[in-house]
Chain A
Amino acid sequence: MIFRRERMTALVLILAGIGFVAVAQRSMNDYILSLINFVGIYIILAVSLNITNGFTGLFSLGHPAFMAIGGYAAAILTFPVRKKAYFLEGLPDWLARVEVPFLPSLLIGGVLASLAALVVGVPVLRLRGHYLAVATLGVLIIVQVLITNFESVTRGPLGLNGLPALTDLWWVFPWVMVTIFVSWKIKFSSYGRTMLAVREDDMAAECCGVNLFRTRVAALVIGAFFAGVAGGLWAHLVTAITPKSFSLVLAFHIVVMVVVGGSGSITGSAVAAMVFSVLTEFFRPIEERLNIYGLGEIFMALVMICILIYRPAGMFGAREPRLFEPEED
C-alpha cells in the first residue's frame, strides 16, 4: 500500500463524513436530517447519471424510470407481511409471503433497474444524440403508465404509503461513497477512458477497437443500478411512493445537476447536486410566503440556459480538482 495524495484526501474525506454523520444523527432536528438525506440521494442520482450522460455522452432522460423500478421493488419487498394481506391484496402469493431486510431489498431494486436498462438499452441505444434523449423520455412515460396501471402490485395512482422509515444517514452516506467510488474507479480505468473516447468521437473510438454498443449498454446499466438503489432509499425516506414522483421534472433536475456540474466530472456532479437540492429547499419557504409557486423551477431553468450559452462544459468541465486526481506515476 503506497500512500498517494489522492488516497489520503479520500480517507480524510470519508472519516470527516463519518464524523459528520455521527454528530448529525444525534444532534440535528428531523427537518435538517431529511434535507441532508435528500442531498445524499441527489448526489447518488447525479453521480450515477454522470456515468451515462457525462462519461459516455448518452443523453438519457430515463433516470427516474429506473429509480421508479428500484423504488417500487424495494418498497414491496420491505413491506411487512401482515400489512400486505389487506393493503396489497392483489399481490401474487410468493410476493405476499416475503419480507426482505433493507439491504437486500435495495440491491434487488438496483439489479431489477439494471435489467430494465438492459432490456430498454439494447434496442434504444442504437439511436444517437437528441433522438436517444427523446426515446428515453418515451421510456420514462411508458414506465409511468405501466406502474399506474399495474394496480394489483403498485396500487396504481394511489401509490404505496406507510412504508417503514428505514432510510437514515447511516444508509445514505455509505451508498454515496459506494457510488462515488465505483464511478471514480470507472473514470480512471481503461474502461472509463473507453467511455470518454466514445463520447468524444465514436468513429475514432471504433477504429481503435472499442466495442461501441457494449460500452454504451454498460454505461446505461451501471447508471441504472444506482438509480434503482437511490429509488429504494428515496421511497423509505419519504415512506411513500407514487408514480407521479418520477416525472420528467425530476429527470430535468438531475440533468441540470450533471450539465451545470460539468458532464464527466464526478466532483462537479456531486457539488451541483448539493447546491441545487439545498437551493430548491431554500426557495420553498419563499414560494409559500409569497404564495407564488414555480420560482425555484424558473431559477433552475434560467441557470441551465445561461450555463449552456456561456459555459457549455459546466463548472468543472470533464475534470476533477487537482487534489483528487490520481498522480501520474
Chain B
Amino acid sequence: MTGGYILQQIVNGLILGSMYALVAIGFTMIYGIIRLINFAHGDVVMIGAFVTLGLLQKLGWPFWLVSVCVLAAGAFVGLAIERAAFRPMRGAPQVTGFIASLAVSIMVQNLGIVFMTAQPRNFTFPDFLQELIRIGPVSFRAVDLVIMLTALVLMTGLILLVRKTRLGVGMRATAENLDVARLMGININRTIMATFALGGGLAAIAGLMWGGKFGQIDPLLGFVPGLKSFVAAVIGGVGSIPGAICGGYILGLAEVLFVGLLPPIYSAFRDAFVFATLILILLVMPNGLMGKRMEDRA
C-alpha cells in the first residue's frame, strides 16, 4: 500500500463526499426550518439523474443547459412535494411528517418504476468529460473534476445566499423560531418553499453527478444516497449547513477508506458500518459536529 494509493483513495472519497454534501445540505436546511426529516429527499436525486438522461442523451442538449434544467427540475419537484404532502400537515407531530415523507418516497420510486420501468439504464457523459487526467500518482476523469468544482461553487453560492440576502435572513429567522419570524412579517410559506426549492435543486444536481459517476441509473437509485446523506447531515449536526458539508466529506472519505484500506472481507459490511455510525452519533453526540443544541433528540 503506497502513498499514491492512499492519495487516490482520498480523491475518490472527496468525489463521493461532494455528492453526499450536496444532498445533505437539503436535508439539513429542511430539518432546520420545519423539523422534518424528509425521507423523500433522496428520490429527488433519482429524478435529477433521469432528467439528465432524457435531456442529454435523448435530446442531445448541451451540457451547461442540461445542468440548468436539472437544477430547475429539482427545485420544481421539491416545491411540488412540499405543497402536496407537507404543507397540509404542518404543525403535526414530527413523526407524522417523517412517515409521510416515507410514503412520498415510496410513491415517487414506484411512479419511477411505472413510467421508466425498473430496468437499469446506461448513462454516458459526452466524451470531453470522460477524459482521463493524471496528476502524479493520482488519476481521475474530467467528470470527477467537474463534480468537485460544481459542488464547491454551488455550496459557496448557497452559503452566501443564506448569509447575505434578505431571503437568507428570513430562512435563518424561521429556523430560529417560526412563530416569532412570522410576527416579524416574514412570509413563512414563501421561505419554506424557497428552502425546499433550493434543497431539491442541489439534490437533482447530485443526481446528475451520480449518473455520470456510476454510469447506470434506475428508479430506486435515490434510496442509498438519500439515507447516507442523512447520516452525513447528522454527523455535521442537523440544521447546520457548514456541518452538512463537512459531514458529507467526512462520510465520503470514511466510506472509501473503509473499503479501500481494510481487507476486502469487510467491504461487504460498509452499509452496516455507515448505519452503526449513525446510531452511535445519535446516542453519543446528538448535536453533531456543528449543530446547535436544539430540542432533545435523546
Option from A129, A252, A302 in Cβ contact (under 8 Å) with B93 = A129
The stretch of B7-15, B16-24, B272-280 in contact with A is B272-280
Q: Mark A137-169, 1 if CB is under 8 A from B, else 0.
A: 111011001101100000000000000000000
Task: Tell me how far the C-beta of A57 lies from the nearest C-beta in chain B, rounded to whole angstroms.
Answer: 8
Instruction: List the B side residues contacting A139 at CB < 8 Å.
Output: 275, 279
CB neighbours of A135 from chain B (8 A):
278-279, 282
- B210 on interface, CB distance cutoff 8 Å: no
A173–B110 alpha-carbon span in the complex (Å): 33
Whether the pair A304, B103 counts as a contact (CB closer than 8 A) is yes
B98 touches A133 (CB 8 A): yes
Of the candidates B92, B93, B272, B283, the one whose C-beta lies within 8 Å of that of A127 is B283
A298 adjacent to B107 (CB under 8 Å): yes
What separation, in Å, do the CA atoms of A300 and B283 have in the docked complex? 33
B298/A127 in contact, CB under 8 A: yes
CB of A123 within 8 A of CB of B106, answer no
Task: Kindly state whether residue A128 has any CB partner on chain B within 8 Å.
Answer: yes
Is the Cβ of A304 less than 8 Å from the Cβ of B100? yes
Report the minimum CB–CB distance from B207 to chain A (whole Å).
20
Report B284 CB to chain A, min CB distance, Å: 10
Which residues of chain A are near B275, meaning CB under 8 Å? 137-139, 141-142
Contacting residue for B271 out of A126, A145, A252, A308, CB 8 A? A145
A297 touches B118 (CB 8 A): no
Q: Which of A79-87, A94-102, A288-296 contacts B (4 or more CB under 8 A)?
A: A288-296
Q: Taking the complex as formed, is A249 at the interface, i.e. its CB lies under 8 A from any CB of chain B? A: yes
Q: Check A301–B103 contact: CB distance below 8 A.
A: yes
Q: Which of chain A's residues have a CB closer than 8 A to the CB of B106?
A: 249, 252, 297, 300-301
> Measured between alpha carbons, how far is A322 from B223 in the docked complex, in Å?
43
Interface size on A, residues (CB 8 A): 41
Is there an interface contact between B282 and A127, defined as CB atoms closer than 8 Å?
Answer: yes
Contact of A298 among B110, B268, B286 (CB under 8 A): B110
Say yes or no: A133-B107 contact (C-beta < 8 A), given A127-B298, A138-B275, A292-B114: no
B residues 106-164 near A (Cβ < 8 Å) are 106-107, 109-111, 113-114, 118
Interchain Cβ contacts within 8 Å, total number: 123
A148 touches B114 (CB 8 A): no
A137: chain B residues within 8 A (beta carbon) = 227, 275
Closest to B110 in A: A294
A128 to B276, CA, bound (A): 17
> Would you call A130 an interface residue if the criterion is a C-beta within 8 Å of the partner chain's C-beta atoms?
yes
B93 and A309 contact, CB distance less than 8 A: no
Complex contacts, A309 vs chain B, CB 8 Å = 85, 88-89
Question: Besides the contacts A129-B297, A298-B114, A301-B106, what 11 more A-B pairs have beta carbons closer than 8 Å?
Answer: A124-B279, A127-B282, A129-B95, A131-B298, A141-B271, A142-B275, A256-B103, A294-B114, A300-B103, A309-B85, A312-B96
Q: Which residues does B use to contact A, with CB under 8 Å? A: 37, 85, 88-89, 92-100, 102-104, 106-107, 109-111, 113-114, 118, 223, 227, 230, 268-269, 271-272, 275-276, 278-279, 282-283, 286, 296-298
5 A-B pairs with CB atoms under 8 Å apart are: A59-B99, A123-B279, A129-B94, A133-B37, A304-B100
4 tightest A-B contacts by CB? A294-B110, A138-B275, A301-B107, A145-B272
